[in-house]
Structures are given as C-alpha cells and as structure tokens.
A = this chain, B = another copy of it.
C-alpha cells in the first residue's frame, strides 16, 4: 500500500539532546534571562534538566564557539560579558556583513527580493502603529535576517548567525527608552527603495547610517551589565 490519501501526519522530530539543550540555553542567553558573568555549572544545569553532563557539555562547546559563553579549562564556563569595545566590534562587523549582502542583492536585481522586503516593511509599520514594541523588534530582526538570506550566500549566513545572536543579546540587555515606533519602522523604507532602485551607493550609505545609529544608542548607555571593562 502506498498511503491512505488525505491524512497528513506531521513530522515528529527527534533531535539529539545536545541540540535541544543548546536551543534552551542559547535562548536564555540572548533573551537576557541569563546575565553576563553568570557561571554555568555543568552538574547543576544537567540536574536541573534531568540529563547527564555529556550532552550538556557538547551544547556548551557550541555556545562557546558562538561566542555566547566563555570557557576556561578546569575552571568553568560563564555567560560571556561584554564591554564597550566588544559592542563596537559587533556593530562594525555587522555593518560590513550587511553591506556585503545588500551589494549582492542589488547585483542580482530580482523583483521578488524587493517585494519581500517591502512586505516586511509593511508588517513592521503595522505593528508600530499598534504600538507593539516586541513585535516591531521581531520584525526588525526578520528584516535584517532577510537581507542576509536574500544575498544567497551560505557562508555569509553562517557568519551572520553568530554575530546576530550576540546583537540580540546586547539588545535584550539594554533597557531602551521607548522611541516612536513608527519612526523606527519608517527608517527602513528608504533602504528598501534604494535597493529597489538598484542604487548601491545610497543603499550602503543608508545601511551604514542605520547600523551606526543603532550602535550609538546602545553604546551610549552601557556600563551597567557585564562589567568586564577595566583591567
């Protein structure tokens, strides 16, 4: 028998524990629930999740590679703390990567691309008009992730993931004052239009400006959280 017809059972996925643990911990870190400097004791976490240390350690390895935690052999692991320079580096590299993505998008001149970006912008605007901050943030993330994806550069995507995770962490740790959400949303429009117009110079200029202003807002009021500044 091939298959009884209409009944569609959905895929039950069986990830290794390591990956489920990874998702949980990563989420806790980038959401700010686990704060910089917080020690991650293997036994403790494993017990808490009801698993053994092996898969937990493997998850920590990966987080370490992603730059979210810091492990010192024979000493332990803690959530990585960031100082001003880390944040500047983060945002400057982000700017470089996104610029590269935009250049590739423009070079391809695909109408689908601009349509998708426009759609994301519309969604962001709608959320902004309803004053839904977290939704705006979520869509903003989609917008920038979208730029990278549309560039169709797999290695860039991989590299981006690691940078963007830490940016999310930084944003979660920053208590932003509520600026006007619709202004934030409209900030994205010129960039979409520049891409649609295949105007590389303008698009990259706008992007750089966009990222730099974002960085500025963050760096400005730092020093509170993970004090790893002085020496």
Chain A residues in the interface with B (C-beta under 8 A): 15-16, 19, 54, 57-58, 61-62, 65-67, 73-74, 85-86, 89-90, 92-93, 96-97, 100, 153-156, 158-159, 162-163
Contact = CB atoms under 8 A, between A and B. Distances in A.
Copies per complex of this chain? 2
Nearest to A154: B89
A interface majority secondary structure: helix
Nearest to A103: B96
Contacts of A96: 96-97, 100
Nearest to A85: B154
A93 B61 contact: no
A11 to B, nearest CB: 14
A159 B65 contact: no
Contacts of A90: 155
B155 A93 contact: yes
A153 B87 CA distance: 11
A73 B158 CA distance: 19
Contacts of A57: 58
Contacts of A163: 155
18 contacts: A15-B73, A57-B58, A58-B61, A61-B65, A62-B65, A65-B65, A67-B155, A67-B158, A85-B154, A86-B155, A89-B154, A90-B155, A93-B155, A93-B156, A96-B97, A96-B100, A155-B163, A159-B159
A96 B156 CA distance: 10
A54 B42 CA distance: 15
A19 B72 CA distance: 12
A161 to B, nearest CB: 11
A22 to B, nearest CB: 10
A132 B212 CA distance: 46
Contact of A61 (B62, B153, B159): B62
Nearest to A59: B61
A58 to B, nearest CB: 6
